[in-house]
A and B are shown apart, each in its own frame.
Chain A
Amino acid sequence: MRAKIQVDHLSFYYGDKQALFDISMEIRERQITALIGPSGCGKSTFLRCLNRMNDTIPGTRLEGRVLLDGQDIYAPGTDVVDLRRRVGMVFQRPNPFPQSVFDNVAFGPRVLGLYRGKDELEEIVERSLRDVRLWDEVKDDLKQDALSLSLGQQQRLCIARVIAVQPEVILMDEPCSALDPIVTLEIEELMKRLREQYTIVIVTHNMQQAARVSDWTGFFWLGRLVEMGPTGDVFTRPQQKLTEDYITGRAG
């Protein structure tokens, strides 16, 4: 498996405060990589470095390199709009726009101009909704308000909204923490299916979830990447004492 994203000695600062310390890792293509660690250890910050969402926060600074398919995404002249299309993001709380189901999924293609003609747009919407297994539930009324859907449906809609712009990588920041256990399992099933097409990076507080869905696990502690490896190895025979303590609940 080739590395889709390669992170090279990445450090990140909010003003004077350093949030990430010299992180290097490889994120494999069409695999699910889970990032775990206690609250405030920099998981979200790291995730946002991968699609340059930290750019929108004033006063931040970054050192090191992040390569997507071998290209440094922080190199001058990088097309950030296209980068964000290629590296999509799903957030913690389901956050559909207060518009119809159709318009939510169509949003990305519309602002990016990714389609020719109404038919193609409808095709994209249908395909994206099918990909997240929402199509059968909403196909009779695509005009309904997205906010009238259940939370689990809303989160799948948000994933469909990302998929609609045909990304290569999907970043998910605790995508299930606002959902109940049954819906959480649904989303996990969905992630396993999406893995066939997309590279997925998921931040989670839930160790069982990381163990269940991911192929690779990285453990963060105070802004440092302590350990990274195949999920089975990290959970059954961690190399670092710190990782073991965290996973067994003795630290965190």
Chain B
Amino acid sequence: MNRRYVVQRVGFALLTLAALLVVVPILLVVGTIIVRGASAIDWEFLTAMPRDGMKAGGILPAIVGTVLLTLGTALAAIPVGVGGAIYLAEYARDTWLTRLVRLAIINLAGIPSVVYGLFGLGLFVLFLQFGTSILAGSLTLAIMTLPIIISTAEEALRAVPTEFRTVILSLGGTRWQAVRYVVLPQAMPGIITGIILGLLRAAGETAPILFTVAAFYLPRLPRSPLDPTMALPYHLYVISTQVPGMPEEIKYGTALVLLALVLSMNVVATLIRSYYRRRREW
């Protein structure tokens, strides 16, 4: 047999192996969590307050907390992120100011999440006196999410052919009309992907909420944005490391709920994306 052919076969085999290696950990993680956590999930677990030092009862306040924090993050990060991306992609000329903004975005993306937590503590909790609250936590998460949203949204906007903008200007339209009616709809799938990526990260992070919002044990639902709340990732951290004698089932059950929440956001994102792909009219 030809030597080059053998080399190719071996090469392909190795590449296939590498691809499979990516799948294995995901299957293991998801599999373990489902196998060991599914038995914990029942109606009470999802809808009740924790009891007995969190060793029994449900995790409702943590679920609600994470949902509220994700919503708050979305509310703060989407307008600023998408607005900033539109500015950078459609209006900004290459000046020192825009270069500074870009530099800031790149550096923001590289900051470890615990630093965001400390920053949020300093700015929102203490200086602006929001206290440990959903407001402070959401804003902290929003800042962490911004670079992801801005850079993916900007890329998606830039991928829309320049010609469309030129045509709209030549029809007497304005730059904004070009953005509004053609560029933005075209870029929407990419922008939504960026938003979801950012929010997924926000939903699962522990460090940024540690000092800004998360309560160790707070068996009631928040009443205002200025209340602290429990949240799934932090709750998971607490019951896994801080509470002796915690039943395994509850740990894995909590992890499963967090995973399900995140995966369902992914599904929603995919649906929205395909909806925009099909719907091109206005």
Contact = CB atoms under 8 A, between A and B. Distances in A.
Interface of A: 51, 53, 56, 58, 81-85, 88-89, 91, 93, 95, 97-100, 103, 107-108, 110-112, 143, 145, 158, 161-162, 165
Nearest to B164: A97
27 contacts: A53-B166, A53-B169, A82-B172, A84-B170, A84-B172, A88-B171, A91-B163, A91-B166, A91-B167, A95-B161, A95-B163, A95-B164, A98-B186, A100-B280, A100-B281, A107-B173, A108-B172, A108-B173, A111-B171, A111-B172, A111-B174, A112-B171, A112-B173, A161-B171, A162-B171, A165-B171, A165-B172
Contact of A56 (B161, B169, B281): B169
Contacts of B171: 84-85, 88, 107-108, 111-112, 161-162, 165
Interface in B225-282: 280-282
Given A58-B93, A97-B164, A111-B177, A89 B170 contact: yes
Given A56-B169, A100-B281, A162-B171, 12 more contacts: A58-B93, A81-B172, A85-B172, A98-B186, A98-B280, A99-B280, A99-B281, A99-B282, A107-B181, A112-B171, A158-B167, A161-B167
B182 interface: yes
B168 interface: yes
A143 B163 contact: no
B147 to A, nearest CB: 27
A81 B163 CA distance: 18
B88 to A, nearest CB: 16
A111 B177 CA distance: 7
Nearest to B169: A56
Nearest to A89: B170
